[in-house]
Structure 1
Amino acid sequence: MSAPPILRLVGERRVSVVRDAGAVWRVLDDDPIESCMVAARVADHGIDPNAIGGELWTRRGANESLCFAGANIIPLRGGLIDLNTFADEAMSTSRRCSSLVGRADLVLPMWQRLEPAWGPARDVRDNQPLMALNTHPSCAIDTGVRQVRPEELDAYLVAAIDMFIGEVGVDPRLGDGGRGYRRRVASLIAAGRAWARFEHGQVVFKAEVGSQSPAVGQIQGVWVHPEWRGMGLGTAGTATLAAVIVGSGRIASLYVNSFNAVARAAYLRVGFAEVGTFATVLLD
């Protein structure tokens, strides 16, 4: 028997912390590509809030409304009343998340409710095509792209930091001198999920499997050294990682800013197809 949900009042509505793992998995399995970031956490750690670093909220049952609230807020299912309720719950305590991310049709209405209290956002990326590939890439792969070794952490960090600043607009070393970001990157390397091509000890291409659920591997952090751009490394390198993910029996996926025409064209050459639209709200 499932444990009873933890109920909290939000105005006249109730928000509960989901305790039924089976109900959560039914939602995650219904669209494994869109739910990959949450499914990866649940697959590794279950649904206990302390284990997954956040709570899974619902208003009227996980099948109808579900939202992950941790370092990121990721709405997974719900109507406008549900999203407003989740937003009210998030605003009822001090903010601990750095972004909202997920389906655009869920993230953007939720942000509209949050913006008067939490805004202005540092950036709102309201149109990020979600792309997927479940067959071998349609272009050549780069056999020079391989898993990064632990002793290569320092060299890899140079590229990772440059990518992060360019993509997010903030230096990940701020606040703690980069210790937290270094641990995050080191954990990806230790898990075999950081990939790169090195030339004379320098990273010229990098990418990671940022989230990996039983069904999907989500590629993130694709970066090519400025001096090596325009040579096809991004396309072939991404194809290499996609081939590895598909070869493991998973769907390869990623999401990209709509205005990044170069990256979108590269992913289309790899064989990725658009399957949805994400949005990301970056907070200070």
Structure 2
Amino acid sequence: MLMVFPPISRLGGGATRRPGRIRLVPVTERLRPAIAAIVRDEPVRAVHVAARLGRVTPARGPAVFAVVAPDDRPLGAISAVRGFAWVLVPEVREDPDVHFALATFIATRGAENDVVVGQEDEVAGVLEGLELQGVTAREVRAQQMMASTGATEPPVPRAALEMRLARPTDLTWLLDAHAGMCREDLGVDQVARNRSGYAAYFRDLIAGGRVHVGEADAGPVFKAEVALRSPDAWLVEGVYTVPEARGLGFARHGMAHIAARARRDGRLTCLYVHRENERAIAVYRSVGFEHVCRWTTAIIGRERPAAGWFGRRR
């Protein structure tokens, strides 16, 4: 598949027209070394791309596409599995032509409801390009990306806590805990909307040893999932302590434990967190996580035309 995009100046506006076109193409063997080098230079920002580089999905083909300049120079890459995320070389991160090329790719391949994640200013540029094509941001979450790169010993919690990998028998508890997290963070129980889909997701993670559970005397109280593993980083999501077990240091202990496991695996740990969630940010900072960049998660969807004569039931 080859996707070619004209300079944004052809659509009007004040941008200076450039010769040639930006292309998005599958990552070939010729392009792979250059894309791998771009990814290695940005292990945190590029975690989505790095974790999927070389993968092929049965339904949609390559998981990662290269962003290529008119002179055939690789400018970055975009992951097109479970939403869209990309990494760009520094000199084009603010380039409106690149943003528009990414937006057109997303508009062409995205589902009716999809997700875009990335550095705040880059996502803003891509969302502008999407809006020109009838795809709007239905929800924008202001976050920050954080990463733990240094060694921090897990602090001793104020009550006994055993950290372990999740077992298949934990599935029901994990689904209930994740539902509680969604209700608190998003105001809606996303698990109830698609319990079978979430169950399949957690089964895959459990089978891969990517769900960490903290168990106290009364049973599991803490969870976190390694959603993606790249050669250089673990991306952690779904960090949650049940309400009745908060204030005992379980989240600090659990996150330090996970970061230590990642370091033993030769990887750093990263995550994104809502910017207004000061309590969570303080927990992560206390165990060695540092701010990397301002991050955005955007839920996108194509605008539906208002119901006119042709849209009414007769």
| TM-score between the two structures when normalised by the length of structure 2 | 0.78
Query: Which residue number corresponds to residue 58 of structure 1?
Result: 67
Of the structure 1 ranges 178-187 and 140-149, higher mean CA displacement relative to structure 2 is found in: 140-149
Q: Deviations over 1:65-103 (max 9, x none)?
A: 432233311131142211112212332466356211012
Do residues 106 (structure 1) and 122 (structure 2) align?
A: yes
Query: Which residue number corresponds to residue 167 of structure 1?
Result: 185
Tell me, yes or no, if the aligned pair for 1:36 and 1:218 is still in contact at 8 Å. Answer: yes
Do residues 238 (structure 1) and 255 (structure 2) align?
A: yes
Q: d(CA) in 2 for partners of 1:252 and 1:65?
A: 22
Q: d(CA) in 2 for partners of 1:25 and 1:141?
A: 39
Alpha-carbon shift at residue 201 of structure 1 (Å):
6.1
Letter aligned with residue 272 of structure 1: F
Letter aligned with residue 34 of structure 1: R
CA root-mean-square deviation: 2.5
Tell me, yes or no, if the aligned pair for 1:164 and 1:221 is still in contact at 8 Å. Answer: no
Query: Which residue number corresponds to residue 248 of structure 1?
Result: 265
Q: Deviations over 1:113-163 (max 9, x none)?
A: 223522241x2123x222112232255156512111122212222112222
Map of 1:1-284 to 2, 5 A cutoff? 6-11=1-6, 13-17=21-25, 18-19=27-28, 20-42=31-53, 46-48=54-56, 50=58, 54-60=63-69, 61=72, 63-77=74-88, 78=92, 79-92=95-108, 95=111, 98-115=114-131, 117-121=134-138, 123-126=139-142, 128-137=143-152, 139-140=154-155, 144-173=162-191, 177-199=194-216, 202-283=219-300
Q: Is the partner of 2:223 in helix, strand or coil?
A: strand
Unaligned runs of 5+ in 2: 8-20, 302-314
Q: Is the partner of 1:64 in helix, strand or coil?
A: strand
Alpha-carbon shift at residue 55 of structure 1 (Å):
4.4
Tell me, yes or no, if the aligned pair for 1:7 and 1:16 is still in contact at 8 Å. Answer: yes
Tell me, yes or no, if the aligned pair for 2:137 and 2:299 is still in contact at 8 Å. Answer: no
Q: d(CA) in 2 for partners of 1:25 and 1:34?
A: 13
Q: Is the partner of 1:70 in helix, strand or coil?
A: coil
Of the structure 1 ranges 271-280 and 57-66, higher mean CA displacement relative to structure 2 is found in: 57-66
Unaligned runs of 5+ in 1: 1-5
Identity of aligned residues (%): 27
How many matched pairs? Answer: 273
Letter aligned with residue 236 of structure 1: H
| TM-score between the two structures when normalised by the length of structure 1 | 0.85
Q: Is the partner of 1:230 in helix, strand or coil?
A: coil
Q: Is the partner of 1:137 in helix, strand or coil?
A: coil
Tell me, yes or no, if the aligned pair for 2:127 and 2:137 is still in contact at 8 Å. Answer: no
Tell me, yes or no, if the aligned pair for 2:262 and 2:268 is still in contact at 8 Å. Answer: yes
Distance 1:190 1:53, change over 3 A: farther
Q: Deviations over 1:234-284 (max 9, x none)?
A: 111111111111121111111211110000101110011112222111236
Quick check: which has more Rg, 1 or 2? 2
Q: Is the partner of 1:283 in helix, strand or coil?
A: strand
Q: d(CA) in 2 for partners of 1:47 and 1:189?
A: 20
Letter aligned with residue 162 of structure 1: G
Tell me, yes or no, if the aligned pair for 1:76 and 1:106 is still in contact at 8 Å. Answer: no
Q: d(CA) in 2 for partners of 1:170 and 1:283?
A: 17
